[in-house]
Every structure is written in C-alpha cells, then in structure tokens.
Amino acid sequence: MKRAAATLFCLGAALAAGAYAQDQGEFSAWMKTTGGTVGKLRKEIDAKAFPDAAKDAATLHDVFKHVEDYFAKTNTDDAVKMAQAAGTASQKLADAAGASDADGAAASLKAIQGTCGGCHMAHREKLPEGGYKIK
C-alpha cells in the first residue's frame, strides 16, 4: 500500500514538473514573440505601415492574453494586471493603426513597452550563464 502511494506521489510530481517545464517553454516563446513584434511595430509605425501594425498589435494582444493566463495560474496578481494593461494597450494600438493614427499608435506602443519594462523589473532575473528566468 505504501509503495503504491509513493509511486502515485512520484508520478504526480513528475507530471507537475513536466507541466511546469512546458509552461516555462511556452512563456519563453511568448516573450520572444513579444520582443520581435515590438521591434517590428516600431518600424511599422515610423513607416506608417498601418495595416501591418494593426496585424502585429493583434498578435501582441493574443500573446498578452496567454501571459495573463500564465500569471493567473501562478497567483502573481501584479503580473496579471500588467499583462491586462499590455493587452489593453495592444488593442488600442490595433485600433489606432486601423484608423491610421500615428500618434495614437506610437502612444500605445510606448504604453506597452512601459508595462513590459515594469513586469521585467519585478519578475525577471538575469542568469549568470546568460538568459533569464521568471522570479
């Protein structure tokens, strides 16, 4: 009986660790998507390529929904609020780009970047060997 309980416990721990690793991998992919997309958005807004900016802003909106869900699972309330704020700013950017509003799009991008920076300061730790981990 004890052996069965120990086996079930170990199996549960292994599944939880696997799920955590999968979440970490997905989170890392979302952050890479975000970084690349923000870079594209800067160029698109400067070039007044509003249809492309609207599409990329929608991509960010979707990513920030995933980030919000991730932090909700980990009960990190301030990060949930930051992801929500970034998602809202992404939607505003998409709307501004759809209206060819360069100033509105630029302001929304600045808001996104500020939110990202705040979250990174609070929840990202640089690793000695390079890269980052979530704190």
**What is the chain's alpha carbon radius of gyration, rounded to the nearest angstrom?**
19
In this predicted structure, what is the pLDDT of residue 35? Answer: 94
Cβ distance 77 to 68 under 8 Å? Answer: no
Share the mean pLDDT of the chain: 87
Domain at 111, CATH number: 1.20.120.10
In this predicted structure, what is the pLDDT of residue 17? Answer: 37
Q: Do β-strands 124-126 and 132-134 pair in parallel, antiparallel, or remain unpaired? A: antiparallel
- The model carries a pTM of 0.80
Nearest to 60 by CA among 93, 28, 27: 93
In a domain, 7, yes or no: no
In a domain, 39, yes or no: yes
Alpha carbons 24 and 109: distance in angstroms, whole number: 26
In a domain, 81, yes or no: yes
In a domain, 64, yes or no: yes
List pLDDT tens digits, range 26-63.
999 999 999 999 999 999 999 999 999 999 999 999 99
In a domain, 16, yes or no: no
In a domain, 118, yes or no: yes
Asked if pLDDT for residue 16 goes beyond 60, the answer is: no
Domain interval for residue 72? 30-134
In a domain, 17, yes or no: no
Alpha carbons 92 and 3: distance in angstroms, whole number: 56
Please count the structural domains in the chain.
Answer: 1
In a domain, 57, yes or no: yes
